[in-house]
Amino acid sequence: MKQTTLCYIDDGDSYLMLHRVKKENDASHGKWIGVGGKCEADESPDECMLREVKEETGLEITEWRYRGIVTFISDTWPNEYMHLFTATKWNGEPDMSIDDEGELAWIKKYDLPVTDGVGDQSINLWEGDKIFLRLMLDEGTPFFSLKLVYHQDVMTKAILNGATI
């Protein structure tokens, strides 16, 4: 299982997100996601997240919260453990042009289509991302474990803290 990180940089009413539009053969092509990437052999999830955010945005994160672990099982893409973070303090301003995988933008939290019929439906998210974004939008949600099973690009099962949802 590969290990990855994903961080949603939170300015209070928006998340800094990446629209994955630049790479071919990208599992997330056309989707909006947080900032992150693959862990290197000697990195902890925190170290990976800090490095990836710096590389993709130019920001130096100074305050963050480890929100949960998401296990992705897929018949198309490699399985992975994704360590999920939110960051609320940082040094610098995001460089909106340095990422080679997509385009960065601040997305209003109320625009995220995390519930059917709510939000901006043109913001293309993975179905599983809608689940963990709902959890993250509730600041009182404790650390969680989420397992997402995909057949091709369709989510077929979601298990939150051991219970199918």
For residue 149, give its domain range: 2-164
List residues bridging with 19 in a β-sheet.
32, 103
Which residues does the chain have with pLDDT short of 50?
none
CB atoms within 10 A of CB 3: 17
Residue 148's CATH number: 3.90.79.10
What pLDDT is stored for residue 117 in this prediction? 78
User: How many domains is the chain built from?
Assistant: 1
**SS3 sequence of 113-149:** CCCCCCCCCCCCCCHHHHHHHHHHHCCCCCCEEEEEE
Rounded Cα distance between 69 and 148, Å, is 11
Helices vs. strands in the chain: H and E counts, helices first: 2, 10
What pLDDT is stored for residue 105 in this prediction? 95
Rounded Cα distance between 17 and 110, Å, is 14
